[in-house]
Amino acid sequence: MYEIGKPELEAIAQVFESGQTFRYHEGATAEQTARFEQALAAKIGTQYALATSSGTGSLICALVGRGIGPGDEVIVPGYTFIATALAPLAVGAVPIIAEVDETLTLDPKDVEAKITEHTKAIIPVHMLGLPCDMDGLMRVARKHNVDVVEDCAQACGGSYGDRRLGAIGDVSVFSFNHFKILSCGEGGAVVTNDRLTHQRAMIQHDGGCVFFSREARETAPPMFAGLNFRISEIGSAILNVQLGRLDGILAALRERKQAMAEIFTGSDKFRLSPVHDVPGDCAVVLALEFDSADAAQEFSKAHGEVCSVFRPIETDRHVYTNWEPIIAQRAHHPEMNPWHKANRTIQQDADCCPRTLDVLARTVCIHVPYQATVQEARELADKLA
Ligand SMILES: *Cc1c(COP(=O)(O)O)cnc(C)c1O
């Protein structure tokens, strides 16, 4: 979240005045969620959008939307929030961890090497707003006939080529929790161009929607047992305001990042990590690549006082080696353990993606200073270069 304030408060007040906090009502006057879904689909450039209660819930709905389940394998990057790997497990499938490269995003070559006859989907994650190599990943996915689920949780509004992130894969998800570019506290969304995927996601997102939604009722094949990942009208009211702020936030971030990147280009201590689409990058961070892990560590220690700096290798739940329940293959019930139901023995230890660990250890990220003026951002870059 970069900005939140009075306009969001006024939007919430309107929801209170209407007395409608639930998205579905008989003879509905509730409109915030429907309005947000239309606006998000228009912004991203997809036919459909479904607002939900979280990014994790959106991933689960997206996988259900594509009919993924027990026995299936889903390839995820070794550098992402753990939720990307938990979602396949929630539908009975197993996550297969693949390497990221210097761009901090999924390496298409390693994805291809890890595809088996059981692979049903890959989940490219646009980490830290950095676009994945979507051409490379789509090529591999189409060649092997597997689905692409874009995880845009950290990359709302970014783009790759002439399309927004989220409009390229078969289905895509967003998160609007506190830490994302747009936020309503907790929230998410699923977007797609495929009607059946949208309808199946919709059923999963509200097992009770059969009573309200003509669209879900008309779904073929027939209704299945869903759950509840609904958003409230309060969340959607906030998101309607937040979405209006998106282009301004991205423009400010990009202007500051570019100013700093120009100065960093001359550094002999590090180089800017490669980015698959520089203008499409959300510009949340500047990623810097060092020759050694020691040099990266030294730099991040030395500059912690003057800016918000972190080494991806130290970011806790975002590195696969810290995904303890996944490495240990523990589920809440032995009879519902997806690894036991898999079509083959899957063994992925802490050393399964050595290149990921090497890259993450040699990389330092600096949060682009949103609150600073462009001149202050330049001065900061001068201190660091
Ligand atoms: C935040 C995040 C999620 C999960 O979103 P929640 O809204 O917290 O459930 C999934 N994937 C990535 C890459 C994320 O950063």
Tens digits of residue pLDDT in 107-166: 999 999 999 999 999 999 999 999 999 999 999 999 999 999 999 999 999 999 999 999
pLDDT for the residue 86: 98
Q: Which pLDDT does position 24 carry in this prediction?
A: 84
343, 70 Cβ separation under 8 angstroms: no
By C-alpha distance, which of 116, 131, 171 is closest to 149? 171
Residue 27 has what pLDDT? 58
Instruction: Calculate how far, in angstroms, residue 384's C-alpha sits from the geometric centre of ligand 1.
Output: 30
Phi, psi (5° rounding) for residue 272? -65, 135
Per-residue model confidence as pLDDT tens digits over 2-47: 999 999 999 999 999 999 999 886 655 679 999 999 999 999 999 9
CA dist 127 → 132, 152, 185 (Å):
8, 8, 20
Distance CA 361, CA 358 (A): 5
Ligand 1 pocket: which residues have CB below 6 Å? 54-56, 80-81, 83-84, 125, 151, 153-154, 175, 177, 188
Under-50 pLDDT residues of the chain = none
Strand partners, 48: 192
* Ligand 1 centroid from CA 175, angstroms: 6
- Whose C-alpha lies nearest to ligand 1, atom 5? 55
Taking the centre of ligand 1 as the mean of its atom positions, its distance from the CA of residue 172, in whole angstroms, is: 12
CA of 129 to the centre of ligand 1 (A): 12
